[in-house]
């Protein structure tokens, strides 16, 4: 990094110091009211090398064409205590003495899998008595000959510490992009979650009293639209691999998309982008959290800027898309300059980590609950800044490596009130409907992911041209 770039980054960081304090500590919401803040900010280190099958793992390490790759993330973890304009507790089921089966939609496949479990926003530890993975067949049913037991340091049970994350050992299971991986775990003791993943009701999970982790189906199971317990799946990918992380709020999460259809725009984009022209396998991680703010509050999960460094540290990450800010404006009354300075920090952080960052302007929200006061004018001012900071157009640092402007795609051209096209909008006029998410994924230019071997932040980076 050049001296001028370091100086610019220092000045930008100083400009939003107060905002960072608000993001990290000022507005954090604990799951139970007495969870230490340090527990809330505990993050998972990169997954360790598996502790089992040591002789085969040594072969894996000698084979430089194999890479651990994040293939699914659970839009979290986050606290079940949520703040929008009010603070409330999400309703969660009592999972004590039950088997939980969640469905992880994989955007890449491999020859082995491992799973990250979390109690990050919980004040109590959790004992997981047993856990299995298998390929999903339909609803709660699994393909029985793919059923595999998960071990944790060679043990069949797991003590998951309060505020912490734990990775399973790896297990040999051939998976493919587009598979749903059923993750089943049994808790014999008390389990009323205060940590969960996702607010968008995009996927069905199942729970049933008793230990049923290896059963072919759970016909008597109850259903929930939340994710509990497990929050990330990695696969051992063969050949060159890269990950795209989509950092965002409910529009990225896929709120109001068709249930169990994997209809959020990142998953739909993943189906268009299984490989780069040079054969590189690409996974797409949806890191959207409903009601999430980028800088001004931790009211719905840690704010986006706080989450960024953990996401950048995931294995094989090459790009990050950033579509956030509307909730900062509508819930926290953030100013345009406040958000712009935070975006500049995110750009600098991504480039310092050697990653590309792609900016996406805020989508129109006229005629919605967010359309009050000067919110639209603030969002449009923010969007003008995003568009002006596109490196492809010669903008100086800190600038996005590319800007993907979706506003012309989704805006109603006949409505002067900066509203989303009704054919592409949900009834709340904030979120796209399923047709809107599909249109976004289909319109996303794939060439922004090509010719990406230049150093982030360099003047000869020409994504999308």
Given 232, 264, 296, the domain boundary residue is 232
The answer to whether 57 touches 112, Cβ cutoff 8 Å, is no
**Residue-wise burial string across 171-194, b where 16 or more C-beta atoms lie within 10 A, e elsewhere:** bebebebebbbbbbbbbeeebebb
252, 123: one domain: no
- What's the mean pLDDT in 376-380? 98
SS3 label, residue 206: strand
340, 256: one domain: yes
Among 215, 143, 220, residue whose Cα is nearest residue 185: 215
Q: Would 49 be classed as within a structural domain?
A: no
152, 280: one domain: no
Write out pLDDT tens, residues 381-391.
Answer: 999 999 999 99
How many structural domains comprise the chain? 2
Q: Would 8 be classed as within a structural domain?
A: no
222, 257: one domain: no
β strands within 169-249, DSSP E: 171-172, 180-187, 195-196, 205-209, 222-224, 230-238, 241-248
228, 244: one domain: no
Tokens describing residue 274: 């299984």
Distances in whole angstroms, Cα of residue 140 to Cα of each of 56, 144, 215, 221, 275: 32, 12, 10, 8, 30
How far apart CA 79 and CA 29 sit, in angstroms, is 8
pLDDT at residue 20, as a whole number: 55
Q: Which residues contact 44 (CB under 8 A, 6 or more apart)?
A: 116, 118, 165, 167, 232, 310
pLDDT at residue 23, as a whole number: 62
Residue 122 has pLDDT above 70, yes or no: yes
- What's the mean pLDDT in 413-434? 98
Residue 10 has pLDDT above 90, yes or no: no
The answer to whether 101 touches 218, Cβ cutoff 8 Å, is yes
Percent of the chain as helix, strand, coil, to the nearest 5: 25, 25, 50
The answer to whether 133 touches 75, Cβ cutoff 8 Å, is no
What are the helix (H) ranges across 288-444? 304-312, 326-332, 336-352, 375-388, 407-410, 434-443
pLDDT at residue 199, as a whole number: 78
Q: Would 278 be classed as within a structural domain?
A: yes
Given 232, 266, 292, the domain boundary residue is 232
Q: Which residues contact 2 (CB under 8 A, 6 or more apart)?
A: none
Distances in whole angstroms, Cα of residue 292 to Cα of each of 199, 250, 340, 345, 401: 10, 7, 17, 18, 24
- Residue 283 pairs with which residues in a beta bridge? 243
Greatest mean pLDDT among 23-27, 417-421, 455-459: 417-421
Tell me how far apart the 2 most distant CA atoms of the chain are, in Å: 66
Q: Which residues contact 312 (CB under 8 A, 6 or more apart)?
A: 245, 320, 349, 350, 353, 355
Among 186, 260, 262, 258, residue whose Cα is nearest residue 223: 260
Given 171, 203, 232, the domain boundary residue is 232
405, 426: one domain: yes
**pLDDT category, 72, cuts 50, 70, 90?**
very high
Tokens describing residue 389: 């900071």
- What's the mean pLDDT in 21-34? 40
pLDDT at residue 452, as a whole number: 56
Write out pLDDT tens, residues 97-114.
Answer: 999 999 999 999 999 999
Q: Would 223 be classed as within a structural domain?
A: yes
Residue 29 has pLDDT above 80, yes or no: no
Residue 17 has pLDDT above 80, yes or no: no
What are the helix (H) ranges across 75-159? none
Indicate which CATH number applies to the domain containing 322. Answer: 3.40.50.1110
**pLDDT category, 200, cuts 50, 70, 90?**
confident
- What's the mean pLDDT in 23-46? 37
171 sits in the region (left: phi over 0; alpha: psi -120 to 50; else beta) called beta
Q: Would 24 be classed as within a structural domain?
A: no
119, 84: one domain: yes
The answer to whether 437 touches 263, Cβ cutoff 8 Å, is yes
Residue 174 has pLDDT above 50, yes or no: yes
221, 77: one domain: yes
Q: Would 50 be classed as within a structural domain?
A: no
pLDDT at residue 461, as a whole number: 35
Radius of gyration of the chain, Cα coordinates, nearest whole angstrom: 21
Which structural domain, as residue segments, surrounds residue 103?
Answer: 68-232
338, 225: one domain: no
The answer to whether 210 touches 114, Cβ cutoff 8 Å, is no
Distance of CA 415 to the CA centre of its chain: 33
The answer to whether 141 touches 217, Cβ cutoff 8 Å, is yes
pLDDT at residue 19, as a whole number: 53
427, 386: one domain: yes
Tokens describing residue 209: 């009293």
Return the axis-axis angle of helices 265-272 and 434-443, rounded to nearest 10°: 40
How far apart CA 304 and CA 322 sit, in angstroms, is 9
Q: Would 129 be classed as within a structural domain?
A: yes
361, 339: one domain: yes
Write out pLDDT tens, residues 244-291.
Answer: 999 999 999 999 999 999 999 999 999 999 999 999 999 999 999 999
273, 215: one domain: no
Average pLDDT, the chain: 88
Distance of CA 201 to the CA centre of its chain: 15
Q: Would 308 be classed as within a structural domain?
A: yes
How far apart CA 431 and CA 251 sit, in angstroms, is 6
Which has the minimum average pLDDT: 5-14, 79-88, 316-325, 328-337? 5-14
% of the chain surpassing 70 pLDDT: 83
152 membership: H or E segment, kind and range: none
pLDDT at residue 151, as a whole number: 98
% of the chain surpassing 90 pLDDT: 81
315 burial class (0-12, 13-18, 19+ CB within 10 angstroms)? middle
Pairwise pLDDT comparison (450 vs 143), residue with the higher score: 143
């Amino acid at each position: 990094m050049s001296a001028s770039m370091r100086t610019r980054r220092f000045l930008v960081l100083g400009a939003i110091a107060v905002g960072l304090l608000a993001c990290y500590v000022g507005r954090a919401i604990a799951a139970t009211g007495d969870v230490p803040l340090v527990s809330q900010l505990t993050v998972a280190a990169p997954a360790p090398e598996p502790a089992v099958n040591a002789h085969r793992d040594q072969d894996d390490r000698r084979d430089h064409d194999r890479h651990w790759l994040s293939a699914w993330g659970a839009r979290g973890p986050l606290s079940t205590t949520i703040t929008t304009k009010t603070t409330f507790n999400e309703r969660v089921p009592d999972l004590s003495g039950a088997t939980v089966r969640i469905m992880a939609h994989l955007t890449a496949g491999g020859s082995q899998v491992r799973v990250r479990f979390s109690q990050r926003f919980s004040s109590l530890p959790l004992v997981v008595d047993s856990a299995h993975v298998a390929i999903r067949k339909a609803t709660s049913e699994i393909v029985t000959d793919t059923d595999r037991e998960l071990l944790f340091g060679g043990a069949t049970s797991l003590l998951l510490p309060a505020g912490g994350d734990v990775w399973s050992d790896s297990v040999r299971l051939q998976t493919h992009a587009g598979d749903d991986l059923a993750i089943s775990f049994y808790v014999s003791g008390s389990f009323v979650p205060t940590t969960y993943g996702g607010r968008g009701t995009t996927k069905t999970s199942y729970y049933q009293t008793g230990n049923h982790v290896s059963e072919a189906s759970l016909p008597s199971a109850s259903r929930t639209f939340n994710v509990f317990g497990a929050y990330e799946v990695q696969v051992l990918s063969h050949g060159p691999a890269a990950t795209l992380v989509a950092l965002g709020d409910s529009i990225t999460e896929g709120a109001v998309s068709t249930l169990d259809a994997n209809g959020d725009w990142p998953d739909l984009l993943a189906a268009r982008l299984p490989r780069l022209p040079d054969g590189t396998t690409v996974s797409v991680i949806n890191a959207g959290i409903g009601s999430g703010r980028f800088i001004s509050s931790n009211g719905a999960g840690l704010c986006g800027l706080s989450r960024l460094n953990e996401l950048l540290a995931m294995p094989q990450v090459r790009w990050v898309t950033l579509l956030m800010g509307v909730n900062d404006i509508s819930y926290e009354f953030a100013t345009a300059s406040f958000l712009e300075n935070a975006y500049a920090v995110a750009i600098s952080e991504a480039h310092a980590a050697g990653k590309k960052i792609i900016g996406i302007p805020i989508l129109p929200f006229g005629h919605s609950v967010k359309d009050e006061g000067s919110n639209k004018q603030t969002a449009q001012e923010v969007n003008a800044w995003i568009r002006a900071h596109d490196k492809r157009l010669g903008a100086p640092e800190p600038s996005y490596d590319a800007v993907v402007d979706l506003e012309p795609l989704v805006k109603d051209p006949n409505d002067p009130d900066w509203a989303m096209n009704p054919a592409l909008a949900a009834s709340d006029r904030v979120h796209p409907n399923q047709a809107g998410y599909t249109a976004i994924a289909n319109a996303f230019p794939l060439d922004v992911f090509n010719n990406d071997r230049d150093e982030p932040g360099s003047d000869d980076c020409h994504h999308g041209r």
